């Protein structure tokens, strides 16, 4: 009974709303949906290298919708702007390119670049390489051919990388000796029998990490 009473009170108010207002709200919702669909198609087309044509098509379609609505109800643009703030600006002042829009919605997709490949050489030490690092430098001893230096770089946090290598050497049975340590870098020496490896982990200001391994053999 309470639901029927509530419906009896609300229904007259709903029907009292002017038909013209409902039309304006409906057109506003349709235009908003059209803009969202156009933005999604434009983002996908940018990934496929076809953004200009699709973006222009979407812009023209949105303009046609508003143009027809303007003929039916003069001033509909201003009313839609009140119902859905920013729609008119998004349609009439469309961004020059889709790439910038993708940069707003998907920052990583806009900035991501192909990962560099390893230089020639081999990895050293008993610990597998930290995921995401790339072998940037490989150097064998110049004079007697003894000793190998390998340097890796990548984008990662300092502490997880350091923990990965320290725990790996510990599990492999190496004895640890800390040579130097700061908040940005640490240098350790690990020994097991005649095997001697020096580890240096250094964080860079640009968010990258550098790992260097030196083997005495």
Given a contact cutoff of 8 angstroms between Cβ atoms, the answer to whether 20 and 73 are in contact is: yes
Do 23 and 91 lie in a common domain? yes
| Together in a domain, 47 and 80 | yes
- Same domain? For 31 and 102 the reply is yes
* C-alpha closest to that of 217 among 124, 126, 123, 137: 124
- Domain assignment of residue 119, yes or no: no
| 209 lies in the same domain as 150 | yes
Distance of CA 113 to the CA centre of its chain: 11
What is the share, in percent, of the chain residues with pLDDT greater than 90?
41
> Does 107 lie in the same domain as 11?
yes
**Residue 122 maps to a domain:** no
Where residue 23 falls among pLDDT bands split at 50, 70, 90? confident
Structural domain boundaries enclosing 164: 134-215
pLDDT of residue 99: 45
Note the pLDDT tens digit of each residue in 42-53: 666 655 555 455
Q: How far apart are CA 122 and CA 61, in angstroms?
A: 57
The CATH number of whichever domain residue 180 belongs to comes to 3.30.160
Q: CA of 122: how far to CAs of 133, 151, 186, in Å?
A: 14, 11, 23
Q: State the total domains in the chain.
A: 2
**65: pLDDT strictly greater than 60:** no
Indicate the burial class of 200 (C-beta count within 10 angstroms; 0-12, 13-18, 19 or more). middle
Q: What is the reported pLDDT for 135?
A: 97
| Judgement on whether residues 92 and 143 belong to the same structural domain of the protein | no
17 with 84, same domain: the answer is yes
The mean per-residue pLDDT over the stretch 9-38 comes to: 68
| pTM for the full predicted model | 0.48
Q: Single out the residue in 111, 142, 159 at which a domain terminates.
A: 111
């Amino acid at each position: 009974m309470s639901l029927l009473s509530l419906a009896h009170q609300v229904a007259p108010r709903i029907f009292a709303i002017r038909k013209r207002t409902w039309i304006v709200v409906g057109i506003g919702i349709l235009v908003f949906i059209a803009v969202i669909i156009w933005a999604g198609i434009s983002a996908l087309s940018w990934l496929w290298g076809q953004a200009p044509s699709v973006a222009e098509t979407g812009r023209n379609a949105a303009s046609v919708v508003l143009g027809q609505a303007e003929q039916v109800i003069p001033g509909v643009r201003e009313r839609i702007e009140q119902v859905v703030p920013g729609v008119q600006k998004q349609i009439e002042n469309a961004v020059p390119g889709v790439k910038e829009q993708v940069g707003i919605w998907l920052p990583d997709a806009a900035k991501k670049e192909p990962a560099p490949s390893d230089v020639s050489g081999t990895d050293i030490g008993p610990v597998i390489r930290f995921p995401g690092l790339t072998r940037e430098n490989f150097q064998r001893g110049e004079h007697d051919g003894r000793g190998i230096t390998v340097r890796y770089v990548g984008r990662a946090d300092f502490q997880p990388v350091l923990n990965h290598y320290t725990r790996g050497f510990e599990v492999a049975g190496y004895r640890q000796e800390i040579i130097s340590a700061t908040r940005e870098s640490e240098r350790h020496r690990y020994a097991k029998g005649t095997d001697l490896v020096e580890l240096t982990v250094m964080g860079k200001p640009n968010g990258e990490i550098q790992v260097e391994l030196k083997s005495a053999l």
